[in-house]
Amino acid sequence: MGKYTNLAKDIVTNVGGKENIVSLKHCITRLRFKLKDESIANDDILNNMDGVVTVMKAGGQYQVVIGNHVTQVFDEVNQVLGITDTTDSDNSEENVEKQGIFNAFIDVISGIFQPILVALSAAGVIKGFNTLFISLHWYSQTSGTYNVLNAIGDSMFTFLPILLGLTAAKKFNLNQYVGLIIGASLCYPAIQLDTLSKAGKPLYTLFSGTLFQSEVYQSFLRIPLISMNYTSTVIPVILICYFASKVEKSLNKVIPDMVKFFFVPIITLLVSLTLGFLVIGPLATFGSNLVGSAILAVRNFSPLVAGALVAGFWQVLVVFGLHWGIIPIYFNNIVTNGFDNVMMPYYCTTFITSAVLIAMLLKNKDKSFRKVAIPATISSLLGITEPAVYGVLIPKKKPLLISCIVSAIVGGFYGFFNLRKFAMGGMGFFELPGMIDPKTHSMSNVYIALIGIVLSFVLGFIATMIFWKEDPSKDKVVTSQNDDEKNVNVSQELIQTPLEGKVLPLSEVKDEVFSKGYIGKGLAIEPTKGEVISPVNGTITTFFPTGHVIGITSDSGVEILIHVGMDTVNLEGKYFTPLVKKGDKVTVGQKLLNFDLEGIKKEGYSIITPVVVTNSAQYKDVVTVSDNGKNLLSVLV
């Protein structure tokens, strides 16, 4: 059962049932029914229903106002009505206009990691300090103090798939408890390769003599089960949850309502996790092996190039979990050769990440950003970069690219000068003792490492200061407190005027959804020119096929809705010429839409255009800006 299934059933019942519905569409906030007999609909019940904002009747439509989650309710209503093809809805661009692969990946990773960033940062700092105290010999690695702090700091990283199972389930609209079980199953001890290899000899070996050689310790229904260590991994749980969401959605369509509660999660778990253990896990293993073999081949050709590749792609490898293809090489080299010089070029990435974050903190004073960036910086300085990568670098995009490029430069330096480490253990600065040659007591590797650290900080900091800029539409204003005459800094996002024309209060809009502020605070504009420009730097998150509604999310997260005219959805795109599409990055002043002002008027529609901040509740206030007319609204953070 979906989140809005009961609401959808109640709505269908109270608009007069399926037999009273002629057609159904939706726009940005409301379900638009055409009913055979509107008098049958129970207006009072619908108005007082949880999940319904209000009911309106206009233009021959019975409109049930839902709010921002209208698309999910629309889908559930169609399920109740037995309609599976909704491509004719006003939101059909969801199925047509796809984000670019890179932007889609960033959106998924950011959405999955955002909810756990605070905890991830906290665990990273604790883990880093525990390593620091061990290096300072404040207590031993066998002490209870170490074990308690290690449990606190390391548990989140060890059992990361469980947390990601929850957040990935939310992202992919999967039952959240199913996501938790998927993550927990991946961490189950009896599944891990380390556990199996210690318990006994393999049954047999697959792909012997090849790069994909795998020892099989157990089977599933006589199918070989290629095991790997899933704890601390990222990609397997995300892929399995994504597949599970598709399985669950398909099952909800075919399994009768009376047994969905029982059978849908059972079948979803069995199908998704079986495929996960048999296919997704082995593919991740083979991917790791390919990465490791490729690095070794390149190093044999050129240590400088190999060092640049290892360091330059290290953050990307960590994101995909493919760094596990290099770590075994590191362990094997130290045990077999007494040192490692293959993986060590990655050493610079922790310091470059720290330098990038420090530069960003100097340029971005936003409180919400600093809450994530400051602990991530501390964690990075101590050698734990995951909070920085997932919390800052990936969402901001350009800093990730900067860190990768600078890492490649310094990694090439380390590769060329053959940086070596002789003992395992330590992170960040506390890896330096392991670079002292135990046979000759030579400090040469320590000196090389220190030079690289200096280069990392200098190049990472300078590159970020030059090439990364915070959102130019965001700045600070100072207001005076008359009581104590203290100055208070207030962060604001300035929303520029997207249309030329007369500015009006929302109360002038002849639509209660806007005039009463149901979907957010803002203003209205009576346009004098048929042109819409972008009021912020951001991304087009909604652009209806009819062209009358544009949704933009600014780079800092403010969600802006521009609704050209009232009931203009009924024009079905006539008089509107979109110039961008969903997923496009836009800049302040960029033209988004042309529309025929006079043509819309002649059709009898109001041209008054609301401009509202739909996530107003997340901010202190949304106020009118009194300046030369360039800016329309100020969102106070």
At 95, the pLDDT band (50, 70, 90 cuts) reads very low
At 101, the pLDDT band (50, 70, 90 cuts) reads low
Q: What is the 3-state secondary structure (H, E, C) of 576-629?
A: EEECCCCCCEECCCCEEEEECHHHHHHCCCCCCEEEEECCHHHCCEEEECCCCC
Each residue's pLDDT tens digit, 492-550: 788 999 999 988 888 888 887 788 777 788 999 999 999 999 999 999 988 888 889 99
Each residue's pLDDT tens digit, 38-59: 888 998 888 888 888 778 876 5
Domain boundaries, the chain: 5-96, 302-470, 490-636
Q: Which token pair is 468?
A: 């990364």
Give the gyration radius of the chain's Cα atoms. Answer: 29
Q: How far apart are CA 534 and CA 602, in angstroms?
A: 27
What's the confidence (pLDDT) of residue 53? 78
5-96 matches 490-636 in fold: no
Instruction: Identify the H or E element spanning 32.
Output: strand 30-35
Q: Which token pair is 633?
A: 């609204």
3-state secondary structure of 80: helix
Helix then strand then coil, % of the chain, to nearest 5: 50, 15, 30
Q: How far apart are CA 150 and CA 131, in angstroms?
A: 9
Would you say 389 and 400 are in contact if contact means Cβ atoms under 8 Å apart? yes
Residue 96 has pLDDT above 50, yes or no: no
Point out the least confidently predicted range of 31-45, 120-134, 187-201, 550-564: 120-134
Interhelix angle 160-171/176-186, rounded to 10 degrees, is 150
Q: Which token pair is 396?
A: 């901001």
Q: What is the 3-state secondary structure (H, E, C) of 226-263?
A: CCCCCCCCCHHHHHHHHHHHHHHHHHHHHCCHHHHHHH
Q: Between 617 and 304, where is the model more confident? A: 304
- Residues marked active site are found at 27, 563
What's the confidence (pLDDT) of residue 479? 35
Q: Between 599 and 397, where is the model more confident? A: 599
In sequence order, which residues have a C-beta less than 8 Å from that of residue 330 and are 6 or more positions away?
340, 342, 343, 344
Please state the rounded mean pLDDT for residues 543-572.
88
Share of the chain above pLDDT 90, in %: 33
CATH of region 5-96 = 3.30.1360.60
Instruction: Identify the H or E element spanning 281.
Output: helix 281-301
Q: How far apart are CA 484 and CA 478, in angstroms?
A: 14
Point out the least confidently predicted range of 16-25, 123-132, 534-543: 123-132
Q: Between 21 and 471, where is the model more confident? A: 21
Q: How far apart are CA 226 and CA 397, in angstroms?
A: 35
Q: How far apart are CA 323 and CA 474, in angstroms?
A: 37
Q: How far apart are CA 205 and CA 217, in angstroms?
A: 9
Which CATH superfamily includes the segment(s) 490-636?
Glucose Permease (Domain IIA) (2.70.70.10)
Each residue's pLDDT tens digit, 372-401: 788 888 888 877 787 788 778 887 889 999
Q: Which token pair is 402?
A: 């900067």
User: Of 380-389, 435-444, 578-587, where does the model show the most confidence?
Assistant: 578-587
Kind of pairing, strands 591-595 and 204-206?
unpaired
Would you say 563 and 608 are in contact if contact means Cβ atoms under 8 Å apart? no
Q: Between 533 and 474, where is the model more confident? A: 533
Residue 496's CB is within 10 A of a number of other CB atoms, namely: 17
Instruction: Identify the H or E element spanning 158.
Output: helix 144-158
pTM of the model: 0.48
CB-count burial class (<10 Å; 0-12, 13-18, 19+) for 377: buried
User: Of 37-51, 186-200, 345-359, where does the model show the most confidence?
Assistant: 345-359
Would you say 601 and 593 are in contact if contact means Cβ atoms under 8 Å apart? no
Q: How far apart are CA 342 and CA 307, in angstroms?
A: 7
At 635, the pLDDT band (50, 70, 90 cuts) reads confident
Point out the least confidently predicted range of 264-273, 354-363, 460-469, 498-507: 498-507
The DSSP secondary-structure symbol of 556 reads T
Would you say 161 and 187 are in contact if contact means Cβ atoms under 8 Å apart? yes
3-state secondary structure of 165: helix
